[in-house]
Amino acid sequence: MKKFLTILLVVAMLIPFAALSETYNLATAGSDGELSITMGTNAEFPPFEFVEGEDVVGVDADIAHEIANDLGLTLLISNMAFDSIIPALTSGQIDMGIAAMTVKEERLLSVDFSEPYYNARQALIVKVGGSVVDAETLKDKTIGVQNGTTGDYAAEEYTADVQRFGKALDAVLELQNGKLDAVIVDEPVAKNIVAALGNPDLILLDAVAFEDEFYAIAVAKGHPELLEAINATIKRIQEDGTLDAILLKYFPTEE
């Protein structure tokens, strides 16, 4: 009888999980059979996602934990190249792409986006005393970017000589070594990398009026329930102060 009750209890506990997995059409189950939701990201983009010890941490990882908690699911994080995230979504390997990803019309052809959670823009990093001093001198120069990003597209507006790197840091290191004339990368990340390198010769040049960009969470098309659940968490963390607290944690020096 006791055994029967235990089985009954276990089955009763599993039903909501199974229903959840079906409702949200989730790609993955955890290694121990726990139901999980998988975030795909490129953990080379501090402070939004970076590796600390064995963990992927950052603004986006914290947001993903909020989503998983609200859904009662375990969060798994899959670290990959930025330009692999959309293919991983469309092929069902991950459930959500959270990677400081800008909502772009071209991307909306293959994935859906949540409501935005952060407003950013690109930034131009140059070397003091270098050849780039304004928008005019940026033309036809060698510009480093992270492959497949909005910085990559912005650089193409100025030059045919775009040097693409897997991570923004490698581009900035090349700039530091004198191999590039400038780097274009998302402003919060540009500030973070320049501060971390502590090289006074690297500066953010406020010379180009880059457009506003909105970061949102990408999901495969045809998952309206998952998108709705993600939007509900974004709304909650915007309203209850959780998002501000997360941003403050990773941007301690900014308002």
Chain positions contacting ligand GLN, by CB under 6 A: 42, 45, 82, 99-102, 146, 149-150, 186, 213
* Nearer of residues 74 and 84 to ligand GLN, judged by Cβ: 84
Other C-beta atoms lying within 10 Å of the C-beta of residue 137: 16
Sheet holding 182-186, edge to edge: 162-165, 143-146, 182-186, 122-127, 202-204
Task: Name residue 155's amino acid.
Answer: A
Min dist. Cβ of residue 84 to ligand GLN (A): 11
Min dist. Cβ of residue 178 to ligand GLN (A): 24
- DSSP per-residue letters across 34-92: -BEEEEEE-SEETTTEEEETTEEESHHHHHHHHHHHHHT-EEEEEE--GGGHHHHHHTT
Min dist. Cβ of residue 186 to ligand GLN (A): 5
* Nearer of residues 65 and 164 to ligand GLN, judged by Cβ: 164
Task: Name residue 108's amino acid.
Answer: L
* Nearer of residues 71 and 111 to ligand GLN, judged by Cβ: 111
Q: Angle 112-47-223 (CA atoms, 0-180°, nearest 5)?
A: 15
* Nearer of residues 62 and 186 to ligand GLN, judged by Cβ: 186
| Beta bridge pairs of residue 161 | none
Min dist. Cβ of residue 29 to ligand GLN (A): 27
Min dist. Cβ of residue 102 to ligand GLN (A): 4
* Nearer of residues 36 and 150 to ligand GLN, judged by Cβ: 150
